[in-house]
Amino acid sequence: MKTLLDSDYITVGDKAQIRLFYKTSKGRSIETVSDFKPYFYALAEEDVETLKGDVENLSQVEETKVVEMLWKGRKTNVLKIVSTHPKEVPKLREDVRNLESSLNVFEADIPFARRFMLDSKITPMEHAEDVELNIASVDIEVYNKRGEPNPNRNPIIMISYADNKGFERVWTFKTHEGLGLDYLEVVDSEAEVIRRFVETVSERKIDIITGYNSDNFDFPYIKERSVKTGVKLCLGVDGRELKMERRGMNNGARITGRPHIDVYPIARKVLNIPRYRLEDVYEHMFGIVKPDVNYEDIPIFWDSKDVGEFKTLVEYSLSDVKTTLEISLELLPLEFELSRFIRQPIYETSRMSSSQRVENLLIRKAHSRNILVPNRPSGEQYDSRAGEEKFEGAFVVEPKRGIHDNIVLFDFRSLYPSIIISHNVDPDTLECDCCPEEENKSPAGHKFCTKVDGFIPHVLGDVIKKRMQFKSRMKEIGDEREKRLLNVQQNALKLIANSMYGYYGFERARWYCRECAESITAWGREYIHKAMEFAEKDGFEVIYGDTDSVYITKAGEKDEIIKDAKKFQGKINKELPEAMDLEFEGFYTSGIFITKKRYALMDEQGKLTIKGLETRRRDWCRTAKETQKQVLDALLKDKDPDKAAEIVKKVVEEIKGGGVPLADLAINTQMTRSLGEYVNEGPHIQAVRKAMKKGREFKQGDIITYIQTRKGSSISDRARIIDFVDEGDYDAEYYVNNQLIPAVFRILESLGYSEDELKGLGKQMSLGDF
């Protein structure tokens, strides 16, 4: 039994060689494939034989062949061009494109190793659950007193490590007497810390390394420090060094044959929570609040003579890596399954957006059905797609404003996929010549063929059928382990199925189809409307509805309401097409609805779900963030709008009184470029300029902590770096009008409070007047 962990290609002599990295029952093996050649297709302007003759005169062409492919649903003769080496393809592609006899080239932008995987029958991560992979997580602590950690100046003081076989380490180069931590390993220097980490990964035969935001923080940092301290970061199974890659605007830390997976982007894709800090994700997944250390305390605890403080730091470091490991072990099975399903290595798959996953699946399916893959849109095509007038999207009803109790949330999980399948929504079935005009016409006015099976509905149908098989096997099987795996598998397929609609409307998609996307939403509006009508017929009040979800309530006790809601659910589901299901999503004790897409709900545990009102960003001051939370608590827990208004009024007074500590008013903004590069200079940049005149230094990447003061003309002009501002010297008007009020006003406005009233101006207006 073996599982493919990774693949890439290298050049041997002048030939490309695919390498396949396996974990086997005996250890590891690397297989190579030398006979796979880069190829692409060209469509002839008129005659494919003329094109063939012209292409054969070009350099770097190894072979040409006329083949029959499906293009826009029609059988078409195209020229298959095999080249000598992947790196020759970009130039050859342009040469072919420039030939008068060629109309266009296709599939010339699919990376070589990816192409190999798509064409081969190899399934990555196969048997991953049975070969018992060794999975380790890593986390670093760095020493920096202010601003962003800078690898040029700030050393790594600890690397922590935990693997799924129970081995735990924190490496550091400083210690105190009497710590008594068996996992702490004290070495001589930072270089030695890095070296021990690298050694351990290979000694413990680690197959997969994970981290939290490690693509953008830990690994680039370790990499730079390893260069500085002269340690080779040879983490690859072939001894290669870790390599930082650009992937779009993000980084990817690539380790040959030993996939590195950053679980932060995975958590973002899989979970739906307001913030994705390690502690938030951990708490959400395991219900445990993780101990945390403030960043500012790290250098303090490190420098401290106090054994307890140093110990806290070591324990924090270990807890970070252990929680990262736990999260990884929970999230990886889904990624493994996605990797198997779309047949791309886990390193790639785990970093793909949902559109990229869909696209990879479609390219593979197109290949096996001899369908020519459409090109990605050019710059102009993208602009014209993006510039088109927005089509009518999902159905969003204006909510019934105010506070409601006992709210039941229902949602259509497979609304769009089932529309695509049941109405055969596909770019190639659009406006066919063979079907009657009104037979299968969307409310958006587009007709889809009912005779010819569309490619994408077909692929999606297979995905859904496969998912149903997993789900029914789950019911039959008793073995818990197998059941869990089946659940992961059906979930992976659900994710893919639910991405298909978004893919049609994604302007960078190869199979972009605006008519398809707008037809899907049009049919969707019809169905959600129906669900709302049914709920009302059953005596429910519909508070709010958006796309595929409805929030409903009625008078009475919780249990009774839920019972009635389930009854309504049964009725509507009987009416809907088979693959469509209205699911029970949750129960909330109270909620406040403000406008479309803006509301807050509180569940039975008192946990807040906030939509469209978040101020949890670092460019909001602490006072604004805190006050918003207090206001929502007053409204949803205490059900006391006047109390909420009083809280705001009190904070307004405190701000105006000048007594709010600067720390609560500090705004943090990153200086993302060097000074000369700014076209418009925001407040933080002008604050930097002033501070530089006083001798302070700043550089690209620094987080600027500033205060809005009273000195200056514009908002930008009044900003000052916090260190140069005296307590009390702040612009109260700014903090009230641009921070506090925006954070709470939308909420309280919906309950009838005026802005003036909250600011302690204007007349009092009671709820009764509204």
Partner DNA sequence: TCGTAACGGGG
Partner DNA sequence: GGGTACGTTACGA
> Residues 125 to 154: which contact DNA by CB under 7 A?
139-142, 144, 146-149
Does the footprint of DNA cover residue 679 (CB under 7 A)? yes
How far apart (Å, rounded) are the C-alpha atoms in residues 87 and 701?
Answer: 34
Q: Which two tokens stand for residue 674?
A: 């060097």
Q: Tell me which of 38, 427, 461, 545 binds DNA, using CB under 7 A.
A: 38
Q: Tell me which of 510, 684, 720, 759 binds DNA, using CB under 7 A.
A: 684
Q: Which stretch binds DNA (CB under 7 A): 272-280, 435-443, 455-463, 474-482?
A: 272-280
* Contact set for DNA, span 39-78 (CB under 7 A): 39-40
Nearer to DNA, 8 or 564 (CB): 8
Q: Tell me which of 248, 287, 436, 676 binds DNA, using CB under 7 A.
A: 248
Nearer to DNA, 233 or 358 (CB): 358
Q: Are 25 and 2 in contact (CB under 8 A)?
A: yes
Q: Tell me which of 360, 669, 705, 709 binds DNA, using CB under 7 A.
A: 669
* Contact set for DNA, span 530-549 (CB under 7 A): none
Q: Tell me which of 109, 238, 581, 583 binds DNA, using CB under 7 A.
A: 109
| Window 685-724: contact mask with DNA (x via CB under 7 A) | x-----------------x----------xxx--------
Task: Name the DSSP class of 722.
Answer: G
Does the footprint of DNA cover residue 229 (CB under 7 A)? no
Least distance (Å) from DNA to the CB of residue 242? Answer: 14
Does the footprint of DNA cover residue 291 (CB under 7 A)? no
Q: Which stretch binds DNA (CB under 7 A): 328-336, 414-422, 538-546, 614-622?
A: 614-622
Least distance (Å) from DNA to the CB of residue 576? Answer: 27
How far apart (Å, rounded) are the C-alpha atoms in residues 338 and 494?
Answer: 11
Q: Are 350 and 340 in contact (CB under 8 A)?
A: no
Q: Tell me which of 393, 402, 586, 682 binds DNA, using CB under 7 A.
A: 682
Does the footprint of DNA cover residue 376 (CB under 7 A)? yes
Instruction: Of 156, 184, 158, 188, give the one whose Cα is nearest residue 169.
Output: 184
Task: Name the DSSP class of 508.
Answer: T
Q: Are 584 and 384 in contact (CB under 8 A)?
A: no
Q: Which stretch binds DNA (CB under 7 A): 53-61, 400-408, 514-522, 675-683?
A: 675-683
Q: At 250, which helix (H) or strand (E)?
A: strand 250-254
Nearer to DNA, 582 or 665 (CB): 665
Least distance (Å) from DNA to the CB of residue 212? Answer: 5
Least distance (Å) from DNA to the CB of residue 592? Answer: 17
Does the footprint of DNA cover residue 747 (CB under 7 A)? no
Instruction: Of 216, 153, 154, 168, give the one whose Cα is nearest residue 317.
Output: 168
Least distance (Å) from DNA to the CB of residue 371? Answer: 15
Using DSSP, state whether 472 is helix, strand or coil: helix
Does the footprint of DNA cover residue 277 (CB under 7 A)? yes
Does the footprint of DNA cover residue 108 (CB under 7 A)? yes
Least distance (Å) from DNA to the CB of residue 250? Answer: 6
Kindly give the interhelix angle for 514-537 and 480-504, rounded to the nearest 10 degrees: 120
How far apart (Å, rounded) are the C-alpha atoms in residues 438 and 445?
Answer: 9
How far apart (Å, rounded) are the C-alpha atoms in residues 611 and 468?
Answer: 32
| Window 327-366: contact mask with DNA (x via CB under 7 A) | --------------------------x-x-----------
Nearer to DNA, 72 or 146 (CB): 146
Least distance (Å) from DNA to the CB of residue 92? Answer: 9
Does the footprint of DNA cover residue 115 (CB under 7 A)? yes
- Cβ-based neighbour number of residue 535 at 10 Å: 27
Does the footprint of DNA cover residue 155 (CB under 7 A)? no
Residue 263 CA neighbour count, 13 Å, CB half? 30
Does the footprint of DNA cover residue 617 (CB under 7 A)? yes
Q: Are 69 and 76 in contact (CB under 8 A)?
A: yes
* Sequence-distant contacts of 108-113: CB under 8 A, at least 24 apart: 108/40, 108/41, 109/375, 109/376, 110/363, 110/373, 111/86, 112/9, 112/16, 112/38, 112/86, 113/7, 113/8, 113/9, 113/18
Q: Tell me which of 152, 230, 249, 763 binds DNA, using CB under 7 A.
A: 249
Task: Name the DSSP class of 737.
Answer: I
Does the footprint of DNA cover residue 222 (CB under 7 A)? no
Look at the block and give the residue holding tokens 């709900």.
601
Nearer to DNA, 168 or 538 (CB): 168
* Sequence-distant contacts of 643-651: CB under 8 A, at least 24 apart: 644/744, 644/747, 644/748, 644/751, 645/748, 645/753, 645/757, 645/758, 648/740, 648/744, 648/748, 648/758, 649/758, 649/759, 649/760, 651/623, 651/627, 651/740
* Sequence-distant contacts of 83-91: CB under 8 A, at least 24 apart: 83/37, 83/38, 83/39, 83/40, 84/14, 84/37, 84/38, 84/60, 85/11, 85/14, 85/15, 85/16, 85/38, 85/60, 86/9, 86/16, 86/38, 86/111, 86/112, 88/38, 88/60, 89/38, 89/40, 91/60
Least distance (Å) from DNA to the CB of residue 147? Answer: 5
* Contact set for DNA, span 460-519 (CB under 7 A): 506, 508
* Contact set for DNA, span 583-612 (CB under 7 A): 612
Nearer to DNA, 279 or 326 (CB): 279
Nearer to DNA, 238 or 405 (CB): 238
Does the footprint of DNA cover residue 113 (CB under 7 A)? yes
- Cβ-based neighbour number of residue 13 at 10 Å: 7
**What backbone torsions phi and psi does residue 165 show, to the nearest 5 degrees?**
-105, 15
Does the footprint of DNA cover residue 289 (CB under 7 A)? no
Q: Which stretch binds DNA (CB under 7 A): 103-111, 128-136, 460-468, 550-558?
A: 103-111
* Contact set for DNA, span 550-579 (CB under 7 A): none
Nearer to DNA, 280 or 653 (CB): 280
Q: Are 697 and 631 in contact (CB under 8 A)?
A: no
* Contact set for DNA, span 12-31 (CB under 7 A): none
Does the footprint of DNA cover residue 279 (CB under 7 A)? yes
Count of residues engaged in binding DNA, rule: CB under 7 A: 72
Q: Tell me which of 392, 445, 536, 678 binds DNA, using CB under 7 A.
A: 678
Does the footprint of DNA cover residue 447 (CB under 7 A)? no
Instruction: Of 417, 441, 418, give the one whose Cα is nearest residue 429.
Output: 441
How far apart (Å, rounded) are the C-alpha atoms in residues 349 and 364?
Answer: 14
Q: Tell me which of 74, 121, 246, 693 binds DNA, using CB under 7 A.
A: 246
Sign, CA dihedral 516-521-524-526, equals negative
Does the footprint of DNA cover residue 326 (CB under 7 A)? no
Least distance (Å) from DNA to the CB of residue 415? Answer: 19
Strand 168-172 and strand 667-670: the pairing is unpaired
Does the footprint of DNA cover residue 390 (CB under 7 A)? no
